[in-house]
Amino acid sequence: MHDTEEVLLKGFFDLLDEKTMDKITIQDLADYCHVNRNTFYYHFDNIYDLLEKLFLRQTQAALSYIEEGESFENCMRAIIDFVLCNQNRARHMISSSHDERMTTLLGDSFYTIVKAYLEKYYIIEEDEKDNEEFLLNFCRFAFVGMMMQWIEDGMDEDASSQFVDQLVRYTGSNLDIAFKQRENV
């Protein structure tokens, strides 16, 4: 990744600690990072493009856990831990007028992670593709709804452990019921 792009991503992340996403302008970000607006536009189309890259980065980190053979539970714990470490930013993201964009990005990220896990650990027959898509979307919307509620409720750490336990139990149970697990993965 280009150094300036990294500076802009980090700067945006820093500004999210101070104010909601809809209050961060490209000029604010350019000033904070000591670059001009054209430099921002060289790297990103708009704030949403930058935000998508932030989500993509976190998704890639979770996918690396799966590639390394981590359990679904550990992948989910990593996501929750990231949110816990960035509570103010998470609140500022969902309390902006762009919260619909946030739920879409969060859902897409979760979908990608569960799909990668599913493909690695389960056998999906051709005639089960519709069931796979249904289950992935069901899990996506359940996760996003529960995650948004957890953030709105203040992100209690004790509740986060219970949240991950239930998420893993019910998502895993649904996967086990719907598909045959691969052996020796």
pLDDT single digits (tens) 124-161: 888 888 888 998 898 888 888 888 888 888 878 777 77
172 by Cβ neighbours in 10 Å (0-12 / 13-18 / 19+) ranks as middle
Q: Which two tokens stand for residue 167?
A: 């998420």
Rounded distance between C-alpha atoms, residue 80 and residue 41, angstroms: 31
The number of helices, as runs of H, and strands, as runs of E, in the chain is 9, 2
Half-sphere exposure (Cβ direction) of 44: Cα atoms closer than 13 Å:
23
Rounded distance between C-alpha atoms, residue 171 and residue 140, angstroms: 10
The three-point CA angle 165-62-24 to 5° equals: 105
Of 129, 143, 149, give the one whose Cα is nearest residue 172. 143
Q: What is the pLDDT along the chain (185 residues), one digit of tens a residue?
A: 579 999 999 999 999 999 988 899 999 999 999 999 999 999 999 998 998 998 898 889 889 988 898 887 787 778 778 888 888 888 888 877 667 888 898 899 989 988 998 888 888 888 888 888 998 898 888 888 888 888 888 878 777 778 778 877 777 777 777 777 777 65
Q: What is the pLDDT of residue 38?
A: 96
Of 86, 96, 106, 100, give the one whose Cα is nearest residue 20. 96
